[in-house]
Amino acid sequence: MTSTNKAIILTFILLGGLILLFGLNSDIDVWIQNHFYNVQTHTWLIVKGERPWLDFILYDGIKKLLIIIYSLLLIFLIIAYKNKWIKQYRREIIILILSGIFVPMTIVGLKTVTNVPCPRDWQMYGGEYPHVGVLDRYPSDFCQKSKIRCWPAGHASFGFSLLALYFVFRTKKVQYTALVCALGVAWSMGLYKIFKGDHFLSHTIIAMVMGWLIILLIVRGVDKFIETRELSKAVA
């Protein structure tokens, strides 16, 4: 079994364990979230619209910047596909582009079907929704007008797609530096949403592990494709 396959299995088990842990017990999330909510003023640590510059940097700005970077990489790869330098780093560029596409797409897509409320939607924080987690059912007497989208953390998933940078570089020191930087960007995005009451901590942790699992699957798929293609050329 390859190291990538082992990592996929371990990450899948970890993801399942975290979903069970936080899905069956919301006390951890609530205890942490209470530190960011002012009961007297009924406001979160970061109030929506109060700091437009912060909203731009950690929400619209960073997300648009990442979309632009991934788009430029894709255009560059298509235009200069046969370039000698591109050939040397083609695998790494493809992994990064696919991660930039599939990590946010999968996690944001999952939000549309899980129907889990955000902290600000909970009744204990001034919202209209009961305390419902990903493994819970809504009370029979609760009338829900439309599906709600809050689990897992979709915004931070754009940042967690940068974890693919670990596979772009080829020396351990640079790989770990890239990993730390990617986590820094992603968690700044994630904490921003937590401080606003848009997500629980578990939503972001699960998005991180889920993103890593998707990236590992992409790496395995790309390597398998390259291996099969080289084998076909050798046979031919």
Tens of pLDDT, residues 131-189? 999 999 999 999 998 889 999 999 999 999 999 999 999 899 999 999 999 999 999 99
H helices within 1-134, ranges in order? 3-24, 27-33, 52-55, 62-79, 84-114
Give Cβ neighbours of residue 19 (< 8 Å, ≥ 6 apart).
134, 135, 206
Which strand (E) or helix (H) includes residue 226? helix 201-235
Longest Cα–Cα distance in the chain: 74
152: preceding bond cis by omega (within 30 degrees) = yes
**Which contacts of 84-89 are long-range, i.e. CB under 8 A and separated by 24 or more positions?**
89/168
Phi-psi group of 199: left, alpha or beta (phi > 0 → left; psi -120 to 50 → alpha; rest → beta): beta
Question: What is the spatial distance between Cα 3 and Cα 121, in angstroms, rounded to a whole number?
Answer: 42
Helix 201-235 × helix 3-24 angle, to 10°: 160
Q: In this prediction, what percent of the chain has a pLDDT beyond 70?
A: 99
Question: What is the spatial distance between Cα 123 and Cα 47, in angstroms, rounded to a whole number?
Answer: 18
pTM of the model: 0.95
Enclosing domain of residue 12: 3-235
Residues in the chain predicted with pLDDT less than 50, given as ranges, are none
Number of structural domains found in the chain: 1
- Structure confidence at residue 234 (pLDDT): 75
- Structure confidence at residue 1 (pLDDT): 65
Kindly state the tokens that stand for 194: 């937590």
- Structure confidence at residue 145 (pLDDT): 83
Which strand (E) or helix (H) includes residue 220? helix 201-235
